[in-house]
A and B are shown apart, each in its own frame.
Chain A
Amino acid sequence: MMGHWLIVPVLLPMVAAILMLLTARMGRAVERSISLLSMLGLVAVSTVLLNASLSGDYQVYALGNWVAPFGIVLVLDRLSALMVLLTSVLALFSLLYACNGQDREGRHFHVLFHMQLMGLNGAFLTGDLFNLFVFFEILLIASYGLLLHGGGPLRSRAGLHYVILNLAGSALFLIGVGTIYGMLGTLNMADLAVKVAEANPEQLRLIHISALLLMVVFGLKAALLPLYFWLPSAYSSASAPVAALFAIMTKVGVYSIIRIFMLVFGIEAGVLSNLAQPWLLPLGLVTLALGAFGVLSSRCLRKQVAYLVVVSVGTLIAGVGLLTVESMAASLYYLVHSTLITGGLFLLADLIARQRGDVGSELRIGPTVTQPLLLSTMFFIAALAVVGLPPLSGFIGKLLLLQAAVQQPSVVWFWSVILIASFFALIALSRTGSALFLKTDDTATTGVRAGGASLLAVTALLLSSPLLAVYGDAVSGFTTATAEQLMAPMQYIEGVLGPQQSPMVSRMGGEQ
């Protein structure tokens, strides 16, 4: 049994944050030590959790010892373990990068950072819809603070948009949850899945409405068309380590879509089965296409990376929308890859901008960077990975996705959009690389050489791409197992609520 490990990813960052509040007067060194130590601990615990999830059993942690569905439960399955570990790894290197000096640009960076992690981990682990809302609130309110970290008018403006939209999103979330509770009288996800499948015909309409409202909310977080427009300016104006961490924020939306629409409204949900699918595939593809146009249109590296985040979300959602084990497995592989690489790219963009004087990350002629060979090599690798060119993880991810779609009726659309978007990204990033590293005006560079910690952070994140490719078999084996788990919601239900008579079976039986 997992004992109390399951709740540690939620509590550890909180304890660290409180400690940092209490020791605020003891200086930066203490704060950084607490922060990094807690972060390392979090990575360790996440690894333990991932390891525990490999068996395929569902670990359930009943808070207050109140049994589900009456109390709140945390549930560990492969997907949640994967997301928690992914978050920890990304956060570790973002934090390391921040410790190079950007954590000093405003107050309470480390506290907010850890609170954000608490929210993220809670959202990935909870098995309760309302509790998911609570953790959304935690991660959002911490992200408001982080987004504005460092200040400045651009950031304030983009931050304001982000805050207001997300507040509206939260209100919508509440309306959705309230309606579902009003219909089904429960908040536990497993119990909801059971109740949705058993819902009587009069209830279907309202459940359907609230499910789609939730989809809108998650779509806002995930940055899905038509709700992604806030993202490019918000992400590109955030400070680099924050932007890097935010690479996981859109994935929270994607995660919630997967969780809710695979479990509660999944294949065993009776009349309301798979109700998100008709929306997800086209919306994902159009988001992907528009994101690719955004990548082409960017005149600034940071903005370009932000659009690459949109592209990755579109790709993911389209993959999820195909709704097969293969496509889900491919999407999850792509999720890991795209999170780490876009995170790394945000950090890299900052490294580059710092060595280009006043030109910064603008894509126009500027001085040669101080470390041209190092930075151009890093950029080359990152670009290969993010465009999806061989032999890195982006290619493997795309390969898996394309293969997964081959027997679907939508294959022509799916392939065309993905391949053409890759082509656009290839054109865009070759222009970017050319503008940053080839076409320079030979003025003396004013930039300082990148510090060891920041280089380590970027290198580690970029290195994930070749590693994900080399160990592609192991990773895709895990994501396939995860997808199989997701496609069998009854397993989850029984894991949380104990053995059940399958509602589908009883339903079918009743009708015959």
Chain B
Amino acid sequence: MTLLLIVLIPLLGALLVPVAAARGRMGAAWMAGALTATALGLLLSLAPQVFAGEILVSSWAWMADIGLYFSFRLDGLGLLFALLILGIGLLVILYATYYLSPKDSMPKFFAYMMLFMGAMLGVVLSENLILLLIFWELTSLTSFLLVSFWRHRSDARQGARMALAVTGGGGLCLLAGILLLGEIVGSYELSVVLASAELIQNHDLYAPALVLILLGAFTKSAQFPFHFWLPHAMAAPTPVSAYLHSATMVKAGVFLLARMHPALSGGDLWFYLVTAAGLVTLVFAAYVALFRHDIKGLLAYSTISHLGLITLLFGFGTPLAAVAGVFHIINHAIFKASLFMAAGIIDHEAGTRDMRRLSGLFKYMPYTAVLAMVAAAAMAGVPLLNGFLSKEMFFVETLALQRLDEWAWLIPALATLAGVFAVAYSLRFIHDVFFNGEPKNLPKVPHEPPRWMKIPVEVLVTLCLLVGVFPAFTVGPLLATAAGGVLQAPLPEYSLAIWHGFNEAIVMSLVALVGGVLFYLLRHRLFALHARLSPGEFGAKQVFDGLIRGLLNTSRCITHLLENGSLQRYMALLVGAAITVGIYAAAQHGAVNFSMSGTSIPINGVAIAILVGLILAGLGTVILHRHRLPALVMLGVVGLCVSLLFVYFSAPDLALTQLSVEVVTIILLLLALHFMPQEAKADSGSGRRWRDALLAGGAGIGVAGLTWAVLTSPFETLSGFYLEQSVPGGGGTNVVNVILVDFRGFDTFGEITVLAIAAIGIHALLQNLLIKPNEPGRYGWAPAKPPLLLEVISRPLLPLALMVAVYLMLRGHNEPGGGFIAGLVVGIALVMQYLASGVEWTQARLRVDYFKVIAVGLILSLLTGVASWIWGYPFMTTTFTYLYWPVVGKFEVASAMVFDLGVFLTVVGITMVILAELGKLSGPLAPRPVQNKGESR
């Protein structure tokens, strides 16, 4: 539980800090400091157990099925890192309190810092690997927030994005690697994974898992070629650089190498990959550091180089090398954090970090200078400082390496070379900044920083000295415990003495020191040579930016290529997709067997005549499609032929429906034509026309073939049941109608809803559609009045039509007819009134709220359905009975008829809505176009 609290306290702190900030700027700092100190105290309370060799684990199930536990672990390695995170964290908070200017939001900064601290503690204290990954990504995300803290600086924004892209991308690789590892081991708990080295390293998936995990570690720890994000992340405020980019977050990668050491290391693959990355990074970054003019740039590359050194050590895979690696982690964290803080002080007090302008600062800030010099000496590996000890151990390990046979000299040689560079850049940092003449054009006169800003640096520098002089007393136990945590095995023999006698390692150190001084003395010639060899800014940044730009351009190209906004293309794709799958499926299942047998359709002269008419009319529609009026007429012919076919094949209900639908829609379309030009523009080139013709032809042939095949297949359906049950179950002899209002009444219920929505939608749409006023002759349509004869005939037609409709309605259940057809008949009659007498005349006489008609229609059908609930039956259960009326005789009353009435009203309603809306647009009632917002086209 204590373990959990250590992680949770900083995370909660992210919320508490802004609250505390209500009590002033310092409130945030105090809160952050107090919480960090609390967590540190809790950690220290657990330390004795860890020093005694215990591994503390506490676990809660989160998603046990996939192996995700909320489980934490404290062993030596975790303890070391947690101490670094909290200890240096405390110092950084103190430092930042004085570093941040009044313009910077203190609560925001400390909230982010606490969030990061919690995430980082989570990384080092996780027992579950997926949990570790979760915290791992959180550190990348909080780093994004912290690096972009000065959001107005473009370098800060770019640096933050770059860091997130590289480390976040690495995190995705790590995720994949961890999942593979979990697949091999069967668990994500470290206790299990670390004990399964043999299983893991003999598994087929070992290589991919290792590569992916290493990608995660290398990106995080800025190993070549992923190193470039770190220098750019230096655009962050210096406390962030000191904390994240030297002491903690970038150490997460090497932490992972240490953590997974027992499980993954030892094999050739591990050795070559990790050693190569570490070695290249070590030398390359040390070289580049020499040529940075920005202090933080120099420190950034130095950090990369030292991370390379640690990586290299872990790559060796031997226990002693691992001890050296852990030791250097501690030492580097201490001296580099203090150096960053010193750099921040210089920046803060002198106003620049450019070493070409900074010189002779010793005069102005001697105290800070001494502190920085000690830390820089530790970085260079000067004896009696902590850096020397671990570097010495490193040199010993490079010499002890047995693996490379005749190339064995390579690693010690390159290590010495890197040592030379390290001494040279450390010297440059000291000499260029604090000596080397007078400062040039500084924005302000430098002076010593406030007292409290120096304390963190003092503490760290003191540690450098203490560890350097009394290693066994100061750092010995911690190192032993931490190294034990890395190895998860008994420690090898090693000695922490300052002097081991005159051996090869001492020679390497001396060479590095002397060589470094020489190098520094020759620096002007070297700078000139470097400038000549690499003109312009040498940059992985340029490469990265180029890649990102390329990616953006590629994606824009791809997207624009695919989505050209052409409806024709999208339709072609849809039709093409249908044809493709059709052909694909048709090609399966053996040879095609064309047969005329089994067809139940009588084909004779009449049928053929109608079919030919249908085909011609269809062709005509296509050919005439640009001439809107004739095309519409042709479309009417198509509908008519279909109706005739229905009649011919004894489907009177369908024929009636088709006929009336056809009439209403064609007339409505004709009315709509009023608002359009007579001719459509030809907007397709001939190539596209051929493509479309091909697709359309293919689709047509496909559908025809499909239909033919269906019609000629033996057929067995539910229709037998419907025929049987129509009278006894549905109370109607017209099976089609009984299906519509009873067996599948729910479909009809849905379809009239569709109609109603269409009416509502049209109403809503036309409210916003601005159509130019109906200027006479605008589209060339003749503004003729309807003939008088039509007007005269149409008037008595309405009551007649109503009578027919009622008749169709009533007989619908038993004979062809029904509410839908009846509704359409009334609709046609109303359309006639509009056509014959004009909009105004009709509108004036039809003072009904159409939507009420629709609503009542829907309510009737709904109530018919719900009524059956009263008798405990499901929705839309029908009932019927026979009444004996005088004159009429036996008359059937079915509840389905009320439903049918609902259908009728809805259909009438929607016809009226459409007519009214079209009328409003064209007649004097048309809304005046409002010329605003440039919306009308």
On A, residues with C-beta under 8 Å from B are 4, 7, 11, 14-15, 18, 21-22, 24, 61-66, 69-72, 106-109, 111-112, 115, 118, 122, 130-131, 134-135, 137-138, 141-142, 144-145, 148-153, 156, 160-161, 164-165, 168-169, 172, 175, 178-179, 181-183, 185-186, 201-206, 208-213, 215-216, 219-220, 226-227, 229-230, 232-233, 271, 279, 290, 292-294, 296-297, 384, 389-391, 395-396, 399-400, 402-403, 406-407, 415, 419, 422-424, 426-427, 430-431, 434, 437-439, 472-473, 476-477, 480
Chain A residues within 8 Å of B567, by CB: 160-161, 164-165
Cβ of B757 under 8 Å from chain A: yes
In the complex, the answer to whether A142 meets B757 with C-beta atoms within 8 Å is yes
The CA-CA distance from A150 to B754 in the complex, in Å, is: 21
CB closest chain-B residue, reference A229: B563
Q: What's the dominant secondary structure at chain A's contact region?
A: helix
Can you pick out 19 interface pairs between chain A and chain B where the beta carbons lie within 8 Å of each other?
Answer: A14-B753, A134-B747, A137-B750, A153-B935, A164-B571, A205-B588, A205-B589, A213-B581, A297-B559, A384-B141, A390-B134, A391-B138, A399-B175, A402-B179, A406-B180, A427-B165, A427-B551, A430-B164, A476-B63
Asked if residues B710 and A182 are in contact (CB atoms below 8 Å), the reply is yes
> How distant is the Cα of A391 from the Cα of B135 in the complex, in angstroms?
8
Cβ-neighbour of A389 out of B168, B592, B875, B937 (below 8 A) = B168
Most chain A CB atoms below 10 A, which of B559, B584, B710, B862: B559
Contact among B570, B586, B869 with A209 in the assembled complex (CB-CB below 8 Å): B586
A471 to chain B, nearest CB (A): 10
8 A Cβ contacts from B45-73 to A: 61-66, 68
Q: Which of A179, A292, A396, A438 contacts B151 (CB under 8 A)?
A: A438
Q: A18-B855, A212-B584, A423-B168 are in contact. Are A130 and B747 (CB under 8 A)?
A: yes
Bound CA–CA A193/B725 (angstroms): 24
Residue B571 contacts which of A168, A296, A430 (CB distance < 8 angstroms)? A168
Say how far B690's CB is from chain A's closest CB, in angstroms: 20
Give Cα A229 to B169, complex, Å: 28
Q: Which of chain B's residues have a CB closer than 8 A to the CB of A439?
A: 151, 154, 157
Are the C-beta atoms of A66 and B858 separated by less than 8 Å? no
Q: What chain B residues lie within 8 Å of A24 (beta carbons)? A: 851
Q: Are A430 and B130 in contact (CB under 8 A)?
A: no
Known pairs A63-B875, A434-B148. 8 more at Cβ < 8 A? A24-B851, A108-B760, A131-B750, A145-B764, A179-B706, A209-B581, A296-B551, A437-B151
Q: Closest Cβ of chain B: how far from A37's Cβ, in Å?
A: 18
On chain A, the residues within 8 Å of B65 by CB distance are 473, 476-477, 480
Contacts of A165 in B (CB 8 A): 567, 570-571, 574
Contact B710 A14 (CB under 8 A): no
Looking at the assembled complex, report how far the CB atom of B164 sits from the nearest CB atom of chain A, in whole angstroms.
Answer: 5
Residue B782 CB within 8 A of the other chain: no
- Specify which of B157, B589, B709, B711 is in contact with A201 (CB 8 Å cutoff): B589
Q: State how many angstroms separate the Cβ of B638 from the closest Cβ of chain A.
A: 15
B554-A111 in contact (CB<8A): no
Closest to A392 in B: B134
Beta-carbon contact of B563 and A232 below 8 Å: yes
Query: Quick check: A438 and B555 within 8 Å, CB to CB?
Result: no
Residue B767, interface by CB 8 Å:
yes
Q: Known A11-B862, A403-B179; judge A72-B935 contact (CB<8 A).
A: no
The residue that A22 contacts in the complex, of B176, B852, B873, with Cβ under 8 A, is B852
Report the separation of the CA atoms of residues A141 and B757 in the bound assembly, to the nearest whole angstrom.
7
Q: Count residues of chain B with CB under 8 A from any CB of chain A.
A: 119
Which of B562, B760, B868 is within 8 Å of A145, CB to CB?
B760
Central interface residue in B63, B164, B745, B761, by most chain A CB within 10 Å: B761
Cα–Cα, bound, A210→B710 (Å): 11
Produce 1/0 per residue, B634-648, CB < 8 A to A: 000000000000000
Residues of A within 8 Å of B760, CB to CB, are: 21, 108, 111-112, 115, 145
A300 to chain B: closest CB distance in Å?
A: 12
Chain B 529-562 interface residues, beta-carbon cutoff 8 Å to A: 548, 551-552, 554-556, 558-560, 562
Q: Which residues of A contact B937 (CB under 8 A)?
A: 153
Which residue of A has the minimal Cβ distance to B703? A175
CA distance A204 to B713 in the complex (A): 12
A186 vs B169: C-alpha distance when bound (angstroms): 52
Instruction: Find out whether the CB atom of A415 lies under 8 angstroms from the CB atom of B858.
Output: no
Chain A neighbourhood of B141, CB < 8 A:
384, 389
Q: Which B residues are within 8 Å of any A CB, using their own CB?
A: 61-66, 68, 130, 133-135, 137-138, 141, 144, 148, 151, 154, 157, 160-161, 164-165, 168-169, 172-173, 175-176, 179-180, 183, 548, 551-552, 554-556, 558-560, 562-563, 565, 567, 569-571, 573-578, 581-582, 584-586, 588-590, 592-593, 703, 706, 709-711, 713, 715-719, 721-722, 725, 729, 742-747, 750-751, 753-754, 756-758, 760-761, 763-765, 767-769, 851-852, 854-855, 858-859, 862, 865-866, 868-869, 873-878, 935, 937
The CA of A203 and the CA of B710, in the complex, are separated in Å by 9
Smallest CB separation, A52 vs chain B (Å): 16
Q: Check A145/B703 contact, CB under 8 A, given A161-B567, A201-B590, A297-B559.
A: no
Contacts of A179 in B (CB 8 A): 706, 710
User: Hey, which chain A residues are within 8 Å of B61, CB to CB?
Assistant: 473
B552 touching A183, Cβ below 8 Å: no
Residues in B neighbouring A204, C-beta threshold 8 A? 588-589
Instruction: Using A70-B721, A106-B768, A232-B563 as known contacts, say yes or no to A62 and B750 having CB atoms under 8 A apart.
Output: no
Is the pair B718, A69 in contact by a Cβ cutoff of 8 Å?
A: yes
Q: Which 7 A-B residue pairings sit nearest by Cβ, starting from the closest? A: A151-B768, A185-B717, A145-B761, A182-B710, A212-B581, A390-B134, A293-B555
- Complex: chain B residue closest to A149, CB-CB: B764
Contacts A473-B64, A480-B65 known; A63 to B745 CB distance under 8 Å?
Answer: yes
**A164-B567, A419-B175 are contacts. A431–B874 as well, Cβ < 8 Å?**
no
* Pair B767/A107 contact, Cβ less than 8 Å: yes
Alpha-carbon gap, A21 to B906, bound state (A):
13
Question: Which residue in B161, B172, B743 is a CB contact (below 8 Å) of A431?
Answer: B161
Q: Is the CB of A64 within 8 A of B876?
A: yes
**Nearest chain B residue, comparing its CB with the CB of A406:** B183
Q: How far is the CA of A406 from the CA of B185 in the complex (A)?
A: 13
Beta-carbon contact of B746 and A63 below 8 Å:
yes
A232 to B570, CA, bound (A): 13
A215 vs B161: C-alpha distance in the bound complex, in angstroms?
Answer: 41
Contact A229 B570 (CB under 8 A): yes
Contact present for A229 and B562 (CB under 8 Å): yes
B169 and A434 form a contact (CB under 8 A): no
- Assembled-state Cα–Cα distance A108/B767 (Å): 10
The answer to whether B873 and A150 have CB atoms under 8 Å apart is no
Interface contact B743-A4, CB-CB below 8 Å: no
A153 CB contacts on chain B under 8 angstroms: 935, 937
Report the minimal beta-carbon distance from A11 to chain B, rounded to whole angstroms.
7
A360 to chain B, nearest CB (A): 14
Chain B residue numbers with a CB within 8 Å of A395 are 134, 137
B763 touches A108 (CB 8 A): yes
B557 vs chain A, min Cβ distance (A): 8
Output the least CB separation between B741 and chain A (Å). Answer: 9
- Given the interface pairs A229-B563, A296-B551, A390-B137, the reply to whether A205 lies near B585 with Cβ below 8 Å is yes
Closest to B564 in A: A229
A134 CA to B750 CA in the complex, in Å? 6
**A216 and B176 contact, Cβ closer than 8 Å, known pairs A24-B851, A438-B157:** no
Which of B134, B137, B589 is within 8 Å of A208, CB to CB? B589
**Residues of A close to B66: CB separation below 8 A:** 399-400, 403, 476
B854–A71 touching, CB < 8 Å: no
Nearest CB in chain B: distance from A282 CB, A: 14
Q: Given the known A-B contacts A430-B144, A480-B65, are A145 and B765 also in contact in the complex, defined by CB atoms under 8 Å? A: yes
Residue of chain B at shortest CB distance from A278 = B584
Complex contacts, B148 vs chain A, CB 8 Å: 434, 438
- Which of B154, B573, B761, B935 is A142 in contact with, Cβ under 8 Å? B761
User: Cβ of A71: which chain B residues have Cβ within 8 Å of it?
Assistant: 743-744, 746
Given contacts A185-B718, A473-B61, contact A107 B157 (CB under 8 A): no
Residues of B within 8 A of A62 (CB): 874
